[in-house]
Amino acid sequence: MARRSFPWGRLVFFATGNVHKFNEAREVLAEHGLATGMLRIGALEIQDDDIESIAKAAAVDAARRSLLPVIVEDAGLFIDALNGFPGPYSKYVYQTIGKEGVVKLLENCEDREARFRSVVAFCGPRTVPRCFHGVVKGRIVERIMGSLGFGFDPVFEPMERQGRTFGEMTLEEKNEFSHRARALRRFAEWYKSSSEASQQSF
C-alpha cells in the first residue's frame, strides 16, 4: 500500500490516552485526507450526566494546555431497560463490573435494546468548542461474543449488522458504521470546509 502524504494543514491532534480510540480515529480521518497525531495530555474529565458537556470541557482544557487545535471524544453505552445507564459513566462501570456485569444486570430481561453514543469535540486555543455526534442502535447480547475491539464491544450487537457483536468485527468493519466513526466523519467534513478550522491549522 502506498504511504499517504499529508500537508501540515491536514494534521489533527487527538487528545486521548486510549490507543484503541486513536487507531479507529486515525483510519476514519485518513479517509478524508487528514493525518492524526496522538496527544497524551491527560485532558480534564468532569463528572456530568451529558457526554457532550464532558467532551467539551476536555477539549477546552486540552487546547488551552497544549496551545494546539485538538479533538476529544467521549462515548457511552445507553441501555433502555436501565433508563440509559451506564451512559456517561460507562468507563467507570466497565472498570468496576465490566462487560460481564452488564450482561448480568440484564439477566432474564426481555428488553435488551441499547445504543452507543459518541461526541467528538474540536477546540483551538482561542476558539469555542464545536461538537459532532454519532449514534448506533443495537442490543446487549446474552453472553460475551468476540475478543476484538475494546470496552463493551463484545456485548453489543449493532442493528445494522445483526448476528455479530462489535467484538467480532475487525477495526475496518466496525468503522463502517460505528458511533465513533459517524461522529468523526461529521467532524472531518466540517474541518475540511471550515474557515475557522483552517485558521487553527499550521
Answer yes or no: 61 catalytic: no
157: burial class by Cβ within 10 Å (0-12, 13-18, 19+)? buried
Residue pair 25/184 in contact by the 8 Å Cβ criterion? yes
Catalytic residue among 48, 49, 74, 153: 74
Helices (H) and strands (E) counted in the chain, each on its own, are 7, 7
Amino acid letter for position 150: F
Tell whether the torsion through CA atoms of 133, 177, 83 and 149 is positive or negative: negative
DSSP label of 107:
T
Which residues, at least 6 apart from 73, have a Cβ–Cβ distance to it below 8 Å?
A: 14, 16, 21, 25, 55, 118, 119, 120, 121, 180, 183, 184
- Identify which of 199, 121, 126, 116 has the alpha carbon closest to the alpha carbon of residue 151: 116
All cell numbers assigned to 189: 467534513
All cell numbers assigned to 115: 445504543
Which residues have a catalytic role annotated? 74
